[in-house]
A and B are shown apart, each in its own frame.
Chain A
Amino acid sequence: MLTRISGGEIVDPLNGRSGTGDLWIEDETIVEPPASRRPDATFDASGCIVMAGAIDIHSHIGGGNVNTARLLLPEHYAAHASRPAVTPLSSLGWTAFETGRLYARMGFTTVVEPAMSPGSALHTHLELADIPIIDKATLAILGNDDFLLSMIRDDASSSMIEDYVAWTVASTRALGVKVINAGAATAFKENVRTFSLDDVVPSYGVSSRRIVKTLQAAVAELGIPHPLHVHCNNLGAPGAAETAAATIAAAEGVPLHLAHLQFYGYGTEGSRKFSSAGARLAELVNATPEITIDIGQVMFGQTVTISSDVMRQFSARGGADPRKSVIIDGDGNGGGIVPYRYRKDFYGSVQWAVGLELFLLIDDPWRVFFTTDHPNGAPFTAYPRLFELLMRKEARREVAEGLPKRALSLTTLPAIEREYSFEEVAIMTRAAPAKLLGLADRGHLGAGALADIAVYRKQDDVARMFEAAALVFKNGELVVRDGEIEKYRWGRALRLNPSPDKAMVRRLEAYHQERYGLSLDWFTFPDWAIARENPFGEVPCRA
């Protein structure tokens, strides 16, 4: 099947292509324009922007904690079901099915669930497998687990630690590794209530910094394309910028990804001791080339925060709105579900501005990633409005007019004139994520790339443009037309598959037998458990 998308404005930064032209697809793949063949189908893209399908590197779309949030908040979906499109909760993307539908209509074709607890990997993958249309991937969480902390405490060799990380990534079908408030979930179980980079986990004598450095080294050594994905300590706290700065400094030349940096961009200035440190953190990121970050932008309205940072969520539960929450002490990691409403008050406004400062003051779009930390800063359905804020300073000004002046005066946002170009948007949401995750087959429109393509009708209203793509192709198939789903299909979960070390598997078998009274089979799963054909797509590690 040969398809031509004709006359669109092509934005393909990786291949340096921009300007009006045609794009050709043969079956699942983008191809060079054929010399003499006629297309089986032609789609007119005149007046449209043509980009690769977008990639979201950090969005909590499935797994135990996400599902617990649904159990906690049946009223969210109730709002959705009875009055589509009008309530603040109406587009939360609350079921697996809706998640795929709503992402696809915005032109997103690959989404990473960044917080999979290894012990419940099967549950996560079952949910992801029920998300239609798009491809998915997960990051496996390490860094609060007894097995790793014990190895670090006992000065295990780096190759033994690498074997464990490789086994975890392979057995959980992950695309990378995440560490969440390293050591804090374990410390919280021994009643520690705050935890910083140089604090030490009781019973192990291991600092948070040492856990991060150990995992960063193992990830690099194993050739895992995505750098260690770090959720720093002290999320949300006034003064958290210090922790983020210390973590940035701790990268020491080796790649490190900092998740939802907005939630750390807080200083302690002003009478409320809460101010923006966005400009300072942006400067640090600009000066530290081995660092990549995503934002975790806050948008105003109702949402629910879902995090494996159980210590932080426990301390935030007093602010739950509605007034209920779930706190989980898991095997190693934990979880906390706290519903929350971002208001246009002093704190909410500072948070909103900090995210935008980071977006606009970090110069290199290859190192800053477009996220709301769905649903923690806002549901992903707020993306179209966020694109508008980045591309239109006038749109920012309009929102800012409705916010407390005192709050904005503690930020640099009002003075920022920058507007993102389509080229920069395409880098930030397509080319850069593909590079960051090691997905060479997507994020661009060159011959040989997977035909994941988003076509947007160009218009002044940026939010409307990105809300409902004119056309979306996934693996060469037309899946969306004018924002409506044209065809449902099942994507894959992208994973690495490093071969596990046999001695490590034996060790883990003995450990699970002894400590949990269960064989290792209970903590792993075969592919048949997903009950779909080809549920996984393999991504190579770097040699």
Chain B
Amino acid sequence: MAVAWIGNREVPLARAAKKAAELLVSSRCPVFSLDTDVHGTRAALALAARVGASCDYVNGEAAAREAAVIAASGGMFILPGEARRRADMIVFVGEIPESHRAYVEELAISVPDLATGGKRGLFLIGADRGAPKRLGGREVTLLSCEGTDLAGTLAAVRALCAGRKVTAEVTNIDGFKGALAEAGFPVFLFGGGEADGLTLEMLQGLVSDINRRKRASTLHLPASEKAWGAALTSTWTTGFPLRTGFSRGYPEHDPWRWNAGRMLDAGEADLHLWLSATGGEAPPAAAGASLIAVAKTARPAVGADVTIAVGDPGLDHDAVSYSVRTGTLAAVAARSSSQLPAAAVLRAIIAHLPEGAEAPC
């Protein structure tokens, strides 16, 4: 099976790695976008540091928001295992992302076994449209507020819980307040997918209010497990989550400046290394930028100067990935070791860099 191409021409892996290294070395301003496991991210950061590239997540908005809210205000968080065993009230903040559907349904139908005694109320704060009325066969009580968005609804809920008056009406607020007063440990589920920064800060404010007298916390369900795993990995490696660049020879974190999409649109970047272990449609080649695709693919990526095929972590090769089920990194053994890990490909590219290559931009 072919694994590497230069343009549309099939080549041995080493040739493609060498070509990729040459493109990176001659690039004035390379940008990487990452969708891979922990070891793929480690290798990508090592390569980025060598060639002075910047790194972003693939579709990085949600992960960037999730990290930004921690840096802005911190917060109170619970791990998923403890939430499953202790939460006697679950509040979804915004719509539940499809990728976490199975986990959330399990949570809905399981019952807490620690301290609180065996039942679990379900609520959802958000707009009325498309919200599930039932989850795993259980009823979900909806809190919504006409004419406003998620942040507005949450602000109204917080104000009403604090005993302040608001003009807007929130559905089922009395039931919610009653349940909150009864609950031993309510847990609010959130992710950066639908919720914007303001919403996330508002949520932390609400939870902080509750903790003056009682306990409560929030459960972070990252919009993308791979992106959050990359955020954690980048943080111990560089000191920062992603949207971090090495153009000056040391890591600098700047969520606006190192936004890969923005850099390519604005013509700042002249090379895009797209690292997508889950594959999918290659990003459109940006004008004036070369494209290196390291992706799960059986054919050369459209418009790519170099394409190297890699496996999906945990499916095609053993991997370490973030899991929402444990809230930490887990080793995932693949059923068969059928395709190259991204980390191996990136190390092959690193091996073709000239000794001590300086950051070019």
Nearest CB in chain A to that of B110: its residue: A517
Q: Does A325 contact B (CB under 8 A)?
A: yes
Bound-state CA distance A146–B113 (Å) is 11
Q: Are B75 and A326 closer than 8 Å at their CB atoms?
A: yes
Q: Are A329 and B70 closer than 8 Å at their CB atoms?
A: no
Contact with A along B128-165 (1 / 0, CB 8 A): 00000000000000000000000000000000000000
* Cross-chain contact of B326 among A62, A70, A119, A324 (Cβ < 8 A): A119
Q: Are A203 and B115 closer than 8 Å at their CB atoms?
A: yes
Q: Are B239 and A80 closer than 8 Å at their CB atoms?
A: yes
Q: Are A329 and B82 closer than 8 Å at their CB atoms?
A: yes
Report the minimum CB–CB distance from B28 to chain A (whole Å).
Answer: 22
Bound-state CA distance A523–B215 (Å) is 26
Bound-state CA distance A522–B236 (Å) is 22
- Most A CB contacts (10 A, CB to CB) among B38, B81, B211, B215 go to B81
Q: Does B320 contact A (CB under 8 A)?
A: yes
Q: Does B305 contact A (CB under 8 A)?
A: no
Report the minimum CB–CB distance from A136 to chain B (whole Å).
Answer: 13
Q: Are B331 and A122 closer than 8 Å at their CB atoms?
A: yes
Q: Are B329 and A71 closer than 8 Å at their CB atoms?
A: no
Known contacts A67-B232, A325-B74, A515-B113; A95 and B328 CB within 8 A of each other: no
Q: Are A516 and B333 closer than 8 Å at their CB atoms?
A: no
Bound-state CA distance A191–B252 (Å) is 40
Q: Which residues of B contact A74 (CB under 8 A)?
A: 71, 239-240, 253
Nearest CB in chain B to that of A71: its residue: B70
Q: Does A518 contact B (CB under 8 A)?
A: yes
Q: Which residues of A contact B318 (CB under 8 A)?
A: 528-529
Bound-state CA distance A522–B325 (Å) is 9
Nearest CB in chain A to that of B249: its residue: A81
Bound-state CA distance A516–B326 (Å) is 9
Q: Are A72 and B74 closer than 8 Å at their CB atoms?
A: yes
* Cross-chain contact of A70 among B85, B184, B236 (Cβ < 8 A): B236
Q: Does B166 contact A (CB under 8 A)?
A: no
Main secondary structure of the interface of A (DSSP, over half): helix
Q: Which residues of A contact B114 (CB under 8 A)?
A: 146, 189, 203
Q: Does A123 contact B (CB under 8 A)?
A: yes
Nearest CB in chain B to that of A80: its residue: B239
Contact with B along A109-136 (1 / 0, CB 8 A): 0000000000110110011001000000
Q: Are A202 and B115 closer than 8 Å at their CB atoms?
A: yes
Q: Does A387 contact B (CB under 8 A)?
A: no
Bound-state CA distance A130–B81 (Å) is 27
Q: Are B320 and A330 closer than 8 Å at their CB atoms?
A: no
Nearest CB in chain B to that of A327: its residue: B76
Q: Does A331 contact B (CB under 8 A)?
A: yes
Interface size on B, residues (CB 8 A): 55
Bound-state CA distance A64–B322 (Å) is 12
Mark out the residues of chain A between 291 and 343 whose CB falls within 8 Å of any chain B CB in the assembled complex: 314, 324-332, 337
Bound-state CA distance A498–B229 (Å) is 31
Mark out the residues of chain B between 248 and 290 whose CB falls within 8 Å of any chain A CB in the assembled complex: 250-253
Report the minimum CB–CB distance from A73 to chain B (whole Å).
Answer: 8
Bound-state CA distance A126–B72 (Å) is 26
* Cross-chain contact of B331 among A81, A146, A202, A529 (Cβ < 8 A): A529
Q: Are A190 and B115 closer than 8 Å at their CB atoms?
A: yes
Contact with B along A500-537 (1 / 0, CB 8 A): 00000000000000011110011101101101000000
Bound-state CA distance A66–B236 (Å) is 9
Q: Are B239 and A130 closer than 8 Å at their CB atoms?
A: no
Q: Which residues of A contact B238 (CB under 8 A)?
A: 77, 95
Q: Which residues of A contact B330 (CB under 8 A)?
A: 122, 522, 525
Q: Are B74 and A326 closer than 8 Å at their CB atoms?
A: yes
Q: Which residues of A contact B231 (CB under 8 A)?
A: 71
Q: Are B84 and A71 closer than 8 Å at their CB atoms?
A: no
- Most B CB contacts (10 A, CB to CB) among A73, A97, A123, A329 go to A329
Q: Are A522 and B323 closer than 8 Å at their CB atoms?
A: yes
Contact with A along B64-107 (1 / 0, CB 8 A): 00010011111111110110111000000000000000000010
Listed from nearest, the 6 A-B pairs whose CB atoms lie closest are A77-B239, A529-B331, A324-B74, A120-B328, A525-B331, A329-B78
What are 10 pairs between A and B in contact, CB < 8 Å?
A: A74-B71, A77-B240, A122-B328, A123-B232, A123-B328, A146-B85, A189-B115, A314-B211, A329-B78, A522-B326
Q: A122-B320, A518-B326 are in contact. List 7 more A-B contacts (CB 8 A).
A: A64-B328, A67-B236, A189-B114, A203-B115, A324-B73, A326-B74, A522-B330
Which residues of A does B touch, CB under 8 Å? 62, 64, 66-68, 70-74, 76-78, 80-81, 94-97, 119-120, 122-123, 126-127, 130, 146, 188-191, 202-203, 314, 324-332, 337, 515-518, 521-523, 525-526, 528-529, 531
Which residues of B does A touch, CB under 8 Å? 38-39, 42, 67, 70-79, 81-82, 84-86, 106, 110, 113-115, 184-185, 211, 214-215, 217, 231-233, 235-241, 250-253, 318, 320, 323, 325-326, 328-331, 333, 343
